[in-house]
Amino acid sequence: MISGMAVWGGAGWLLDRWLDTRVFVPVGIILGMAAAIYLVVKRYGGLPPTPGAPEKSTTPGGRRSRPRTQKGQR
């Protein structure tokens, strides 16, 4: 997360020096922190499922599985 803040903060610093402003360094730091948190959540996912909770009926692709029927029925 520190590298995201450093990279985007540095990009903001360069932009501030080029445009002679003082707004892009804090924006870059916040943007870098948000991007780093997003990437960590995307990589490691959310919380694990609660033990004893009913399992969802979905396939690995995320679609709901068809209900099982007896042979010959639709």
pLDDT tens, 16-56?
A: 999 999 999 999 999 999 999 999 988 888 777 777 766 66
pLDDT recorded at residue 66? 63
Give residue 59's pLDDT band: very low, low, confident or very high (50, 70, 90).
low
CA dihedral 65, 67, 72, 74 (to 10 degrees): -90
Burial class (CB in 10 A: 0-12, 13-18, 19+), 11: middle
How many domains does the chain fold into? Answer: 1
pTM: 0.59
Token representation of residue 23: 């707004």
- Residue 61 in any domain: the answer is no
- Residue 72 in any domain: the answer is no
- Residue 68 in any domain: the answer is no
Give residue 62's pLDDT band: very low, low, confident or very high (50, 70, 90).
low
Domain of 39, in residue numbers: 2-43
Per the CB < 8 A criterion, the answer to whether 57 and 65 are in contact is: yes
- Residue 69 in any domain: the answer is no
Instruction: In whole angstroms, give the CA distance from residue 3 to residue 53.
Output: 38
